[in-house]
Amino acid sequence: MKNINKVLDILEETYPDAKCELEYTTPFELLVATILSAQCTDVRVNKVTGEMFKKYNTPEDFTKLSIKEIEEEIKTCGLFRSKAEKIKQTSEKLCDVYNGEVPNTLEELTKLPGVGRKTANVVLSNAFGQDAMAVDTHVFRVSNRIGIVNTSTPEKTEFPLMEAIPKKRWSHSHHLLIFHGRRICKARKPECEICPITKYCKYYKDNFK
Ligand code: SF4
């Protein structure tokens, strides 16, 4: 897409506060929060972790809890049973293999139970300041609507987006596309009438011109 920098510039002006909306103070807290965020709002995750991290916020803390106890902490999040298991197993592996530290490479992160490329990229870009492109459902939908990529699933979107967007802008683009997807380019009905990038948008051209 030849106007990609222009589109990102406009989104930056529109969302000057775009950033990770999960609250965390360490890479491990972000890892847990990102695991919890699957099919759950960031607001809900922040509520749960706000209480939980006061009591437990290291891999070692979670290895000492039973899965039932972790479930109890996170039960207001969707899919809490499988998430409790993932948090427990990931904590055990971090303690056994990584000395209780979260590794800072995609390869090592994706070896952790329940950590896919999206979660790993969120941790790499936000907690470790690396250039990474995490693709969630918003990033997938919005980037396809605009015409930055033409892909069929979130999983198939990471590499085309990395091709289309300058590397230095990968991490922030993730936040910009999520902010745009939550506020204007919504899943069920995009609010094109108030969108600042109609001029560059493929969906808009295809549907309203
Ligand atoms: S013009 Fe419509 S479809 Fe395109 S980015 Fe804006 S809200 Fe989304």
Average pLDDT of the segment spanning 172-190: 97
Question: Above 80 in pLDDT, residue 180?
Answer: yes
Q: Is residue 118 part of a domain?
A: no
CB 66 within 8 A of CB 41: no
Is the domain of 32 the same as that of 90? Answer: yes
Distance (Å) from CA 132 to ligand 1 centroid: 24
Summarised one tens digit per residue, pLDDT across range 132-144 is 999 999 999 999 9
Residue 32 is part of which domain span?
Answer: 27-101
From 3, 192, 200, the mutation candidate for ligand 1 (largest count of ligand atoms within 8 A of CB) is 192
Residues with CB under 6 A from ligand 1: 145-146, 184-185, 190-192, 195, 197-198, 201, 203-204
Q: Is residue 114 part of a domain?
A: no
Summarised one tens digit per residue, pLDDT across range 35-65 is 999 989 999 999 999 999 999 999 999 999 9
CB 34 within 8 A of CB 123: yes
CATH number of the domain bearing residue 145: 1.10.1670.10
What does the block give as tokens for 155?
């999983």
* Count of other CB atoms within 10 angstroms of residue 83: 23
Question: Above 80 in pLDDT, residue 209?
Answer: no
Task: Provide the whole-model pTM.
Answer: 0.93
Task: Count the domains in the chain.
Answer: 2
Position 105 scores a pLDDT of 98
Q: Is residue 35 part of a domain?
A: yes
Position 1 scores a pLDDT of 85
Active-site residues: which are they? 118, 136
CATH number of the domain bearing residue 58: 1.10.340.30
